Structure 1
Amino acid sequence: MKLRPLVVALALLAPAVPAAPATAAAGGGYSATIRRTEYGIPHITAKDYGGLGFGYGYAFAQDNLCTLASWVVTLRGERSRYFGPEAESDDPAKPVADLASDVYYKSIAGSGVVPRLLARPAPVGPSAELRRLVDGYVAGYNRYLEDTGVANLPDPRCRGKAWVGPISATDMWTNLLDLSRMASGSSLKEAITGMAGPGKPRPMPAAGSNAWALGRTATRDGGGMVLADPHFPWQGIRRFYQVQLTIPGVLDVSGGSLYGTPVVQIGHNAKVAWTHTVTHAQHFTVYRLALAGGHSYTVDGRVEPMGEQEVEVTLPDGTVSQHTLLTSRYGPVLAVGQSDEAAYALADANAANLRAADEWLAMARAGSLDELRAAQRTYQGMPFVHTLATDVSGTAYFADTSVVPHVTDAEAERCAKPSPVPGLDAYVLDGSTSACLWGRDGDAVVPGIFGPAKQPALIRADYVANSNNTYWMTNPAKPLTGYPTAYGKTGTDLQPRPRVSLDMIAQRLSGADGLGAPGFTLDTLQATVRGKRDLTFELMRDDLLKMCDTDSRNDVREGCRTLEKWDGRATLDGAGAILWREFFTRLGRPVKAGDPPYSPWRVPFDPAHPLTTPRGLKDVPAVRQALADAVGFFRSNGIPLTLTPGQAQSYASIPIPGCTEGEGCFDRVRTGGPLGTDGRYPEVDTGSSFMMAVELTPAGPRTRTVLTYSLSANPASPHHADQTALFSRGGWVTERFTAAEIAADPHLETVTVHERR
């Protein structure tokens, strides 16, 4: 692959500085102790960062080598060679054809962005500690592979496969960079490569997650508590792996770590706990280029040539598929929206962001909320998430510290251009003038992004909460306003899931939820989450039953009786939950072709009353038809109207409770498709993933967790679905954090691993 001269992103133009050397453990080799407690959860201890990474890489490979091995093939742009150019890639958030994936990742390697970042000192480049972690992780993974042999791997999915082999530090750094780009450049592979054809990029993946940070006035004992409920994919590289990482006297953190990363993204130490949710903020912009003939465009009246990047992808027969990608001063030129007069370029604020991993590592070392916030100000690397946190003092904290392009509201209005892609949720700016370049804040760690002083933030003694709503309703007692619209709009409809989240908190603080005296304890926090409320049913039930009273159709009336008896909770035995889902998902659809969509809400949204509107159900022919159609589907296919979530949805043959995003379920589920004529949905593929409820006390953390899809993706592993069965029945794991708690586990297994000398 040859790379012709091109203009690179501003963040990479600074002169290179030699990187701090990555060193192995003192004494000449890596060493770590792996202690596994119930459900196979690993607790890694080492005397330094290299050894810690070594132990982590070894333990992870024991459980999930095949998943990472496949992803390394993706990151190297070699999927077409092994699986064919038309097969679907293993990206769990947004799969594309292998050839499109390969062209994209080959272009990343050819751009040289990773070595340029590795040549930079921290905070723009990785810290010495993170470099040691990565090198150790690679060595640990490779040591396990060497010990076991490809032909003897326990996972049948990759045993004996030609595409399995050792990994490199470059693979790991590329994975960390790709994670930062997950909600920006990496989600636009087809638009960048042109593989889907002009104007046909696939839609962006839906976001999900719930997070609460509870302060001292919301908890019964006056300490801080965190509920983490990220909704990430249940398959592939974006799964969480539960782990504890310990260097005595230096680091002791426990929580969820995304596959192939050597740090904990969501977790706690002895004094601080934190979690994240995906933001509504902008993480990239699109620039309209005024073409000047050929591969060139104008800026401030001067012609600039586009860069041309030649990419070669090897196919299964050994032949090479050649592709030319264009780039600009803003970033890659998109293969969508082009005309004789204009083209469009992607400007990705996370294009050169390796800072996130160091930020998570520094947060893990924080001894207080102030130290956690200092870590965020130092690295400014959160790619696309809010942060919610608390500490043992019971102070609750929320901030959108994500990487956001510095585009003020005035600039967004002054520089706005029509979007080349309908529904693209990003600013489209005029690229023909430098007056529309991203701005710069003095407190920003890299140019072109908003600094910490501009970020939405809130500190409270009661609580902060987010369920992927915009920041303004973090706490209804103190609405947040006045921040750049690039962080999201205010005064908008909360949507049902954030509304039920805030209502769950309000009912617990007042004691109206039937769980006892007001205020949160660890037990009532767990019980609140297990409620499985379906908010849209609660808001529409009375109007629905009134409408049912006037419907003379027998089948519909039987459906109405089923819904009248249902308690509105999507538990495994919720008889009526699936009928409600099928009815609700039909609401808003036109009755016949050509009719406009409609709102089924009787009372529309009112920004002055965001917690109580919209509500009610309109009694109109389209709503009645939606109910008749839902009941008719059940009847025509012999499906009982009392079909329950436990009968309709599953993962690894285990029944899964819960309902969908639109219905207003707190811990939502998503299946791979619609309800079949057999009364079953395709397997659950997204939803609550690593759930953590932690209480910080002066005596140490008290924590309950559940990894919904379990620790290992290997179908032959005893830990492939054991926590899934626990999640199905509403159970949690009592975390073992201290050395004494770990040693007391009757299931404890301990092994010490060393680097081969």
Structure 2
Amino acid sequence: MAALCLASGTAALLPASASAAAAPDGERVSDHGYTSQIRRTEYGVPHVLAHDYGGLGYGYGYAFAQDNLCQLADQVLTLRGERSRYLGPTQTTADGTSNLASDTYHQGLRQAGTVRRLLDRPAPLGPTSELRRMVEGYAAGYNRYLRDTGAAHLPDPTCKGKPWVGPIGAMDIWNLVYDLNGASGAAALRQAIATATPPTTGRASKPLRAAAPRRGAGPSAPDSASPSASASAGPSTSSGPRRGDLGSNGWALGRDVTRGRDGMLLANPHLGWIGGDRFYQVQLTIPGVIDVAGASIYGTPLVEIGHTRTLAWTHTTSYADHASLYRLTTIPGDPTSYLVDGKAVRMTRRAVPVTVRGADGKLSTVTSTLYTSRYGPVLADGWTRTEAYALRDANADNLRSTNEWLAIGRAQSVAQLQQAHQTYQGIPWTYTIATDSTGTAYFNDSSAVPHVSDDRLKRCALPGEDHDLPGVLDGSTSACDWGSDPDAVVPGIFGPGHQPRLTRTDYVANSNNDSALTNPAAPLAGYPRMYHAGAPLGPRAQLGLQMIADRRAGTDGLGIPGFTLPTLQASMLGDRNYTAELGRDDAVAMCRAHPVLTATDGTEVDVRAACDALAAWDTRDDPDSRGAALWKAFRIRVGGPHPWWRVPYDPAQPLTTPRGLNGDEAQVRRAMADAVRKLTADQVPLDAPIGSVQRWAGIPLPGCSGAEGCFNVVNASPTSGTGGATRPRSPEGYASGSSFIMATELTSRGPRTRTILTYGQSANPVSPHYTDQTVLFSHKRWVAERFTEAEIASDPQLRVTTLRG
């Protein structure tokens, strides 16, 4: 056995064990032969060192379980379809799906053997041997910690002693990966899939729009303003896609805009702070094989956003479509059969029994039927006697993502990252933004996009449908099936030759806008409509591009032109509010001219104090910025772009329009009156700082929603985080936005990186790492990453755990 290169420190040698843990489905995971070392530095960041991939996964699984076993146990409970058995059928998952619907969906996948079939494929379509060992080791490491600690003695009260906490298997991790990949498609519509039943009347019970996958859906989807006046509430829990209120920012800076003539990267993904969409910070090292640092989605044993010694990358949600809706023409008298090319095709039915716990604690079985068409699952929404709707998901066959992220974690250049894209084509629903030490900046939408050519879309999209997709496709003819490309690794998706990409030496940037203005100096155009190039920029994306322009010109107050690591950090946390910059003065002029405004209910409201608060506001969303809470309440009530702006959006001026608050519009005036009334009713001062109405576990938070034009997106309430982070979300406790923030400079001497994990390493509310980095975030302080062995060993807080199986 190869020897580990160990950092100095006091080793806690745990008892050796060669036992095997059994998951409920009979899968046995042994920890025999694994060796790993976990070096924890400030804020509990683990640096996992091993001599092979199995040991690397083993150490990572153990470290993650130390901090977040309860959260992963909860996710596994969901993915096994057993929430109703232990928690009852009427409670909801973290994304608002009912337990019974969630269990039906996941049990149906297990019965169908979907993930097992994908695992049976050889690489590149199935996992590589290294990755399989890593996943097996991760499950074994989790089980080792659970066995050493005991469920009755877990430090997290969320699941301590719960009967649903037990060993996991590699299959649980693969199911988690598959579910994550489907977040912009089928996994986002679990409720609609699980509750689809043939109609008993001539009308649909729900409008179809509720079930249509929104463009950009996924853990990093575009922002939306909250309906709450004094704080942001959680997203709708309808059958629509989950996480639709979120977004991300990513900048890759090349040698022409950095003072050191090297590459720099800003990663700013926005995810929910409640549930399994959180990030975990880690470094994974096999000497001479892989050395990557960054962050992983909970339960995944890979770094999905991070850097190696000479490459850094991040992701933002692609604006392209990753699924298609097909309208089925059902046969009169038989709504479970439909026509294709004039021939009747019966839907496939799968009876799915789910064990449920009643209010009296007794167990019973509820059996539901899942309906599937040739395109994919049939949805509850829109199913009538004459038509139904089915979803085809471009990620329905995707476990390739894990291969790709492992390959990126070994890459040292943009060219090697590109090769990983072309080999695996597994990134499910995100753009990739990257740079390397040569100062090359790179953007690519390599996500899985349905191969629907513009010509086919024109012929097959049904008229009159109101969806965010370019059109619902006609399912009655095989001529409307997806096409394919010869360079695509699987049929049905666009290959690399069709994907928007850009390589520059100045910069590429994205804030969940489409790919067209990745760099305004080199607009991207000519791509299939499925990529949606040319859509208007939102205020957050406009601000991001303006921030880069201001830094290049040296007009942002941060010194001479050009990016350095400190100016990149300062830009990220400048907390500018772009809609306020464009409209605050007009709002003040409006209420000065009309000191009494009429609210929606006809009540007259004195707004003079509101004018004073807005006039004194610095138009930023620092925690102590007074007036920001009022602007949030006002902006939410104004609603969409019209009649909000005096100068409407102009495609010829995408960076500078729309602009100018239209204070002559009655809706705008009513919005101000309603905002003042709401804050007064909630006993929130009109000049309240934003940090008084958005908090995490009582800690004031900076930022605001992307719809307001904040780059540093934060949505929270005054009580967010007070009950822990492993529970279903609720409007009063939900939080989302900036999660793992990473600023990296790839110098000739190695990477210099600063990070903030805004909610800390642990979802355990009694852990010291539950809010330690939230305090940093509140005060705009960063963690200096320790990447080299010397940096890790020099940490005075270093704690070393050696594991031998």
TM-score (norm 1): 0.92
* Contact in 2 for aligned 1:30/1:136 (Cα 8 Å): yes
| 1:495 corresponds to 2:538 | yes
Whole-Å separation in 1 of the counterparts to 2:196 and 2:39 = 46
Aligned letter for 1:644? P
* Contact in 2 for aligned 1:472/1:481 (Cα 8 Å): yes
Whole-Å separation in 1 of the counterparts to 2:638 and 2:326 = 37
* Contact in 2 for aligned 1:214/1:225 (Cα 8 Å): yes
Q: Which of 591, 612, 616 does residue 656 from structure 2 map onto?
A: 612
Q: Deviation of residue 24 (structure 1)?
A: 8.6
Question: Secondary structure at 1:267's aligned position in 2?
Answer: strand
Question: Secondary structure at 2:668's aligned position in 1?
Answer: helix
Q: Which of 517, 526, 534 does residue 482 from structure 1 map onto?
A: 526
| 1:67 corresponds to 2:65 | no
Distance 1:88 1:419, change over 3 A: farther
Aligned letter for 1:154? P
Q: Deviation of residue 662 (structure 1)?
A: 1.1
Whole-Å separation in 2 of the counterparts to 1:268 and 1:24 = 31
Aligned letter for 2:510? N
* Contact in 1 for aligned 2:693/2:717 (Cα 8 Å): no
Aligned letter for 2:766? A
Whole-Å separation in 2 of the counterparts to 1:723 and 1:186 = 31
Aligned letter for 1:717? S
Whole-Å separation in 2 of the counterparts to 1:545 and 1:716 = 45
Q: Which of 600, 604, 621 does residue 570 from structure 1 map onto?
A: 621
* Contact in 1 for aligned 2:643/2:668 (Cα 8 Å): no
Whole-Å separation in 1 of the counterparts to 2:29 and 2:748 = 36
Question: Secondary structure at 2:706's aligned position in 1?
Answer: coil
* Contact in 2 for aligned 1:650/1:683 (Cα 8 Å): no
Matched with 2:727 is: none
* Contact in 2 for aligned 1:23/1:50 (Cα 8 Å): no
Q: Deviation of residue 633 (structure 1)?
A: 2.9
Distance 1:276 1:167, change over 3 A: same
Matched with 1:17 is: none
Aligned letter for 2:439? G
| 1:31 corresponds to 2:35 | yes
Aligned letter for 1:470? D
Distance 1:552 1:176, change over 3 A: closer
| 1:210 corresponds to 2:214 | no
Matched with 1:379 is: 424
Give identity over the alignment, percent: 55
* Contact in 2 for aligned 1:397/1:459 (Cα 8 Å): yes
Matched with 1:592 is: none
Whole-Å separation in 1 of the counterparts to 2:678 and 2:451 = 50
Matched with 1:87 is: 91
Distance 1:552 1:141, change over 3 A: closer
Question: Secondary structure at 1:544's aligned position in 2?
Answer: helix
Matched with 1:341 is: 386
TM-score (norm 2): 0.86
| 1:451 corresponds to 2:455 | no
Whole-Å separation in 2 of the counterparts to 1:268 and 1:31 = 25
Whole-Å separation in 1 of the counterparts to 2:680 and 2:121 = 65
Q: Deviation of residue 598 (structure 1)?
A: 4.2
* Contact in 1 for aligned 2:29/2:170 (Cα 8 Å): no
Question: Secondary structure at 2:482's aligned position in 1?
Answer: coil
Q: Deviation of residue 325 (structure 1)?
A: 1.1
Distance 1:630 1:298, change over 3 A: closer
Whole-Å separation in 2 of the counterparts to 1:74 and 1:672 = 26
Whole-Å separation in 2 of the counterparts to 1:635 and 1:452 = 55
Distance 1:426 1:598, change over 3 A: closer
Matched with 2:486 is: 442
| 1:331 corresponds to 2:376 | yes
Matched with 2:215 is: none
* Contact in 2 for aligned 1:650/1:684 (Cα 8 Å): no
Matched with 1:351 is: 396
Whole-Å separation in 2 of the counterparts to 1:635 and 1:59 = 47
Matched with 1:54 is: 58
Matched with 2:736 is: 686
Q: Deviation of residue 193 (structure 1)?
A: 1.5
Question: Secondary structure at 2:708's aligned position in 1?
Answer: coil
Matched with 2:262 is: 223
Aligned letter for 1:622? Q
Matched with 2:558 is: 515
Whole-Å separation in 1 of the counterparts to 2:523 and 2:405 = 28
Gaps of 5+ in 1: 1-21, 590-596, 676-680
* Contact in 2 for aligned 1:56/1:262 (Cα 8 Å): yes
* Contact in 1 for aligned 2:695/2:717 (Cα 8 Å): no
Q: Deviation of residue 101 (structure 1)?
A: 0.4
Distance 1:234 1:588, change over 3 A: closer
* Contact in 2 for aligned 1:24/1:132 (Cα 8 Å): no
* Contact in 2 for aligned 1:376/1:401 (Cα 8 Å): yes
| 1:696 corresponds to 2:746 | yes
Whole-Å separation in 2 of the counterparts to 1:673 and 1:748 = 35
Whole-Å separation in 2 of the counterparts to 1:434 and 1:493 = 34
| 1:251 corresponds to 2:297 | no
Question: Secondary structure at 2:516's aligned position in 1?
Answer: helix
Whole-Å separation in 1 of the counterparts to 2:396 and 2:693 = 41
* Contact in 1 for aligned 2:104/2:352 (Cα 8 Å): yes
Q: Deviation of residue 518 (structure 1)?
A: 0.2
Matched with 1:300 is: 341
Q: Deviation of residue 395 (structure 1)?
A: 0.3
Question: Secondary structure at 2:422's aligned position in 1?
Answer: helix
Q: Pick which of 304-313 and 537-546 moved more.
A: 537-546
Per-residue CA distance 1:361-381 (angstroms, 9 max, x = gap): 000101211000000111101
Question: Secondary structure at 2:252's aligned position in 1?
Answer: strand
Aligned letter for 2:653? H
Q: Deviation of residue 290 (structure 1)?
A: 2.3
Aligned letter for 1:309? R
Whole-Å separation in 2 of the counterparts to 1:224 and 1:605 = 34
Question: Secondary structure at 2:671's aligned position in 1?
Answer: helix
Matched with 2:599 is: none
Q: How do 1:113-262 and structure 2 match up within 5 A?
A: 113-194=114-195, 198-199=206-207, 201=211, 202=238, 203-204=240-241, 205-262=244-301
* Contact in 2 for aligned 1:603/1:616 (Cα 8 Å): yes
Per-residue CA distance 1:570-616 (angstroms, 9 max, x = gap): 01110111111111111148xxxxxxx94210000001001110000
Whole-Å separation in 2 of the counterparts to 1:219 and 1:634 = 44
Matched with 1:746 is: 796
Aligned letter for 1:64? N
Question: Secondary structure at 1:29's aligned position in 2?
Answer: coil
Aligned letter for 2:136? D
Question: Secondary structure at 1:586's aligned position in 2?
Answer: helix
Matched with 2:305 is: 266
Q: Deviation of residue 684 (structure 1)?
A: 5.3
Q: Pick which of 707-716 and 203-212 moved more.
A: 203-212
| 1:407 corresponds to 2:452 | yes
Distance 1:686 1:259, change over 3 A: same
Whole-Å separation in 1 of the counterparts to 2:595 and 2:127 = 69
Q: Deviation of residue 232 (structure 1)?
A: 0.6
Q: Deviation of residue 340 (structure 1)?
A: 2.2
Whole-Å separation in 2 of the counterparts to 1:81 and 1:419 = 43
* Contact in 2 for aligned 1:134/1:262 (Cα 8 Å): yes
Whole-Å separation in 1 of the counterparts to 2:78 and 2:368 = 17
Matched with 1:582 is: 633
Per-residue CA distance 1:404-442 (angstroms, 9 max, x = gap): 00001111110112587x545364111121111100100
Whole-Å separation in 1 of the counterparts to 2:80 and 2:488 = 32
Aligned letter for 1:156? P
Whole-Å separation in 2 of the counterparts to 1:686 and 1:425 = 25
Aligned letter for 2:292? V
Q: Deviation of residue 672 (structure 1)?
A: 5.6
* Contact in 1 for aligned 2:43/2:761 (Cα 8 Å): yes
Whole-Å separation in 2 of the counterparts to 1:541 and 1:97 = 42
Whole-Å separation in 2 of the counterparts to 1:469 and 1:194 = 33
Whole-Å separation in 1 of the counterparts to 2:799 and 2:639 = 55
What is the root-mean-square deviation of aligned Cα atoms in Å?
Answer: 1.9
Matched with 1:310 is: 351
Question: Secondary structure at 1:585's aligned position in 2?
Answer: helix
Aligned letter for 1:315? V
